[in-house]
Amino acid sequence: MRNNKTNMPSHFNVDERATLLALLDHGRQSLMPYDGAWKADWLLSDVTAPIWPLRTSESRFVNGAWRRVRVLHWRATLPDGSLLTDPENSYILGIAQRATFLVRFLSGFGIDSSLALEQWAARMKTLCQWLFLNEALFAPRTHAFSRVNTGAINDFFSSYISGGKSRLLQLPERCLRYFYEKALGREVQLSTDQRLFQIPPADTEAITAWLESENFYTRKNSSRDWNQRYIDRGLLADCLSCGWQEMKSDRMNSFLRQFEPELVQASSQLLLPINGFNTEYPGHWIRDIDTVFRTPVSFTHASAMLSTWKDLFRLKRHLPDALPPTEHIDLSAPKYMVAHKSSPVKHTPWVPLKTALQYTTEALRLLVTVGDVIVDFYIEALRAFSGLGLFNEQRDSSSVRRVKRDSRNDWIRRSVPDQLSELRISGWTTVFAAHSRNVHHLLRTAPALSDILQVLVGGVVVLIGITKPSRGSELRSLRRDCVRLVEGDGYWIEHKNRKANANDHLLNTSKPIPAVTARAISLLGRLGDALCELFSDNDSYAQESLFYLPTFRVTGTPNPRVLDSMAFIDCLDAFCDYVALPSDSHGRRWYVRPHELRKSFLITFFWCFKYSSLDAARWVAGHSSAEHVYAYIEANFPGEELPQIEAEYAAKQLRDWSSEEQSGEEENLDLLYSAVCDHFQVSNISLIGESELEDWLVIAFSKGIYRIEPYVSMAIYFDPPLANKIDPPFIV
């Protein structure tokens, strides 16, 4: 330190000297191995624990215990049959845990949330499983990652990109070897990856018969024999010494579909989920089997896996004995494979305009005509049942429960308000308790009160999502007091921006919403207030949450809670099945999701107001750059629609530029102006007919001769308020 002071620039003042010394000290510390206590405020357990409870912005300490934490499980089945958490694997587990701790604790890794850490840890567990698959080469129990070299990493990415985790861990090959040995008594010949998905019919029949004899087939609900049978993934995973999660991937499902004749009979093209679906039809996201096994891993997943390897090697000085000499590791080949052999990123699908309008119309109809009455009647029923003692208690016998159930249903049928008569409410007991095939028909023709309330909640979510583009997690985290009325400016909604995340602390933002959306939100708030009062929930998070709602599809006490992501989606699905739009040619129905509604808002907004609306759309959606919004648009305007819009915009800018004799904000506009004049052999663009100019520009944009790219000044990132005042300029 004395040497630092001696060499200090003489013109530095006291503050500058202190800053320089602090920077030097920080740099020195960054070059030293970590020797801290392995504790952090986001980790609510010891670093060596087999289960990590991770604190988030939603975590609360209630009655002596942490609630709403994200849980990271270190248990993982290894190819040799042991678990990562077994005592004999303590060394490699400790390395994996310390590496995971460091990538969040240290700066510069970009892991700044519990979700990101959980995803990083999942990839780390995959790396450990791969080491054990090649145990003879790497000896991970004693050497961890220290024997990994460039060639091994190249092989890793070649397998991973071609077929994901299942291909990396050789699950189809291991599965076939097991099937052929047990069912046919011989070895299988595996010449190419494609043969894994094209087993000869005679062999398939023999394997299917053996699986039947060994009771490998099961169904989602044994009491509902219309559910197709499938191979028990857990049982098969035990036989192959792998985790059941790995056996449930889309690629493994497409491979095993060869031996699941009932599912093939239900659909020979679509990869129907093995555990069925709670909706009336398969969702629009269900892919065909052929596409699943032919498609490489996405660029997003491949680049994330590459980043995990890079992060691991950056920890060399902290874990010196567990990692190889990093100067000998060359990642140029994996970088090339990720860039050129992974499948391109696919943007969220755009809900067809007709579909979006139909769902929006039905949501509005429900809210405006019967929304308040449904909520009022539900609250009245809760108070009546509570006062009459009609909710089930733990000590109740089955006969007492049956009497209470009948009493609840009778009370509902006697008390239904006239305004709800057209809904034909059948009682309190959900129709989904019925052991029948036509529960979704009953949902539309004779719903229980709780069923129609669930439909209403789904409609409210649709209204919020279609009028204020939001991420699903942003919607679920809304507070009951999230709406405020600004005099002379209408309603505004306050929420947390999930993309503005620093150590699980989210920035708040406010955006305008229409009055009908504010009304929908207040409806849920009123229901939540009543539930808190009736069920005396002292959890502060529950008392604040907009989506503190009943547990739906139960026969007795609703036991309110803050909806998790699955319950949230169930409400949307119930609404879509209630509206009952027709299925497509593959028998799929469009079940909307918040991110799809968000995208539909942005694209529809752009369609109405063109390029001048891009910055407004960016701001409403909470994007940092208009480029993100424009990427949505480019990916979703088919055929000539986008070139036509681009041509209209460019023609307007050219004429404005000609009349004002200045380039304005659009870069390269003067070059385009010169090219147009040269082509039409005129000195001024005003001499070209409007339709003639636009037709020429449409052709030019369609052929890719010109393109429009938005860009935003970096000043916006350093002065966020400035972003709300600037229209994005464009590069032509």
What is the mean predicted confidence (pLDDT) over 623-635?
61
Please give the share of the chain, as a percent, with pLDDT higher than 70: 83
What tokens were used for 697? 């520009």
User: Do 685 and 694 contact (CB within 8 A), yes or no?
Assistant: no
- Predicted pLDDT of residue 192: 60
The label of the residue with tokens 């609703």 reads 558
Reduced to 3 states (helix: H, G, I; strand: E, B; else coil), residue 427 is strand
**What span, in angstroms and rounded, lies between the C-alpha atoms of 121 and 119?**
5
Q: Of 267-276, 476-485, 511-520, 631-640, which gets the smallest average pLDDT? A: 631-640
Identify which of 145-159, 430-444, 474-488, 684-698 has the greatest average pLDDT.
145-159
Longest pairwise C-alpha distance within the chain: 93
Rounded CA separation 135/144 (Å): 10
Residues 648 and 626 sit within 8 Å (Cβ to Cβ): no
Alpha carbon 427 to its chain's center:
36
Query: How far is residue 283 from each of residues 404, 567, 581, 587, 588, measured CA to CA in Å?
Result: 37, 17, 12, 9, 5
Average pLDDT score over residue span 264-280: 89
In whole angstroms, give the CA distance from residue 481 to residue 479. Answer: 5
Q: Please give the Cα distance from 163 to 242 (Å, whole number).
A: 17
Task: Quote the pLDDT of residue 712.
Answer: 41
State how far the Cα of 311 lies from the Cα of 698, in Å rounded to an integer: 46
Amino acid 406: pLDDT: 94
Q: 535 or 309: which carries more pLDDT confidence? A: 309
Closest CA to 119 of 254, 322, 303: 303
Beta strands 490-502 and 505-513 are antiparallel
Q: For residues 693 and 689, what is the distance between their CA atoms, to the nearest angstrom?
A: 6
- The alpha carbon of 706 is separated from its chain's Cα centroid by a whole number of angstroms, namely 34
629, 692 Cβ separation under 8 angstroms: no
pLDDT tens digits, one per residue of 290-336: 889 889 999 999 999 999 999 999 999 999 999 999 998 999 999 99
What average pLDDT score do residues 188-207 get? Answer: 82
pLDDT band at 709 (very low <50, low <70, confident <90, very high): low
pLDDT of residue 175: 94
Position 598 scores a pLDDT of 79
Give 552-601 as a 3 state SS string: CCCCCCCCCEECCHHHHHHHHHHHHHHHCCCCCCCCCECCCCHHHHHHHH
What tokens were used for 242? 């792998």
Residue 623: its pLDDT value, please? 59
Instruction: Return the pLDDT at 660.
Output: 56
Query: Rounded to an integer, what is the distance from CA 58 to the centroid of its chain?
Result: 18
Identify the pLDDT of residue 442.
94
What percent of the chain is modeled with pLDDT above 90? 52
Residue 722 reports pLDDT greater than 50? no
The phi and psi torsions of 256 (rounded to 5 degrees) equal -75, -15
For the ranges 94-98, 516-520, 702-706, the maximum mean pLDDT occurs at 94-98
d(CA 146, CA 322): 5
Long-range CB pairs of 299-303 (<8 Å, 24+ gap) are 299/338, 299/339, 299/342, 299/343, 299/344, 299/345, 300/345, 301/164, 301/342, 302/157, 302/160, 302/161, 302/337, 302/338, 302/342, 303/338, 303/342
Instruction: Kindly give, in sequence order, each residue whose CB lies less than 8 Å from that of residue 447, ignoring residues fewer than 6 positions away.
Output: 423, 424, 425, 426, 431, 455, 578
pLDDT in tens, 226-237: 578 999 999 999
For position 676, what pLDDT does the model report? 84
Tokens describing residue 698: 């449409």
Q: Is the pLDDT at 636 greater than 60, yes or no?
A: no
**pLDDT at position 723, please?**
35
Give the sign of the dihedral formed by CA 293, CA 299, CA 301, CA 305.
positive
pLDDT of 690 over the 50 cut: yes
**Local structure of 53: helix, strand or coil:** strand
Q: Which residue has the tokens 């306050």?
A: 494
pLDDT recorded at residue 324:
96
**Residue of 655, 642, 725 lying closest to 684 (CA atoms):** 655
pLDDT at res. 718: 31
The one-letter code for the residue type at 365 is: R
pTM of the model: 0.76
What's the pLDDT band for 715 if we cut at 50, 70, 90? very low
3-state per-residue secondary structure call for 38-50: CCCCCECCCCCCC
Over residues 502-516, the pLDDT tens digits come to: 555 556 778 888 899
- Which residue pairs, CB below 8 angstroms and at least 24 apart, start in 696-700? 697/646, 697/647, 697/650, 697/651, 698/640, 698/643, 698/644, 698/647, 700/647
Name beta bridge partners: 54.
Answer: 43, 70
